[in-house]
Amino acid sequence: MRSATAGVAALLLVLGGCSDGRSTAPPEQRPGALLALMVLPKSALGPDAAALGKSPPSGTVSNARRAATDLDPLVTAKSLARSGRLTGYALQFGLTDPQTSKALRRGAGLLQVGTIVDSFRSRAAAGAAMTKTIADLRRLEGKPLNLGGKLERVRLIRMRGFRDRAVGLVLTVDLGGAQVHITEVAFRAAHLAAAAAVTRADPATALALTTALARRLELRVRRVLAGTALAG
């Protein structure tokens, strides 16, 4: 059960897999260099995250690593590269294995919370990947997932108040005797796609928290981008 939980908790919005014929040279010579500055530290994730430890997939998320932890069995490193995805950086915090098992048996509690920022070759590629993600998740509804379990339900939420495109998702994953509920809010900022995700063992709403984290993430991302532009 834990391996499946790790997989669904790792779900972040940009699955990729679509091509962008307008992609040109990378907007950064080292696209992953600044991403670590953008993700939210533990102190910015709220009081419920205080007892959580760092968990996968924290750190640099290459296309190969992203494909290996993706819910969709059709996602590969090559399909992500074709979509224009260059690299990503995630910072996740979650329960230990025994704590996760206990929370799933109870059917209650926070399992994991974190943020990710993915870099693409263009703004268009980032947007196309977001569009494809929604279609992919709807296709996966009711079907087995890459790391185990079944995607039981997908709910799409219209998000407002972000400077560019944003979307909210609430996913219910059946692990066979237990359920995991993932709330995610993702947005685009220039050539980047970023997301905050909260994973719980119960259906208690996490949209307010996830939205607040996504807004903090957007502010942090845009501050780093602005600093880079000024430095250039």
Output phi, psi for 145, to 5 deg. Answer: -105, 165
Length of the chain in terms of residues written? 232
User: What span, in angstroms and rounded, lies between the C-alpha atoms of 80 and 63?
Assistant: 6
- Flag whether 140 is in a domain: yes
> What is the domain count for the chain?
1
Q: What is the mean pLDDT of the chain?
A: 86
This prediction's pTM = 0.86
Between these two residues, 29 and 97, which has the higher pLDDT value?
A: 97
* Planar angle of CA 188, 194, 198, nearest 5 degrees: 130
Range of the domain at 119: 2-19+31-231
Which CATH number goes with the domain that contains 88?
3.40.1000.70
Residue 221 in domain: yes
Whether 26 maps to a domain, the answer reads no
Q: What pLDDT is recorded for position 6?
A: 45
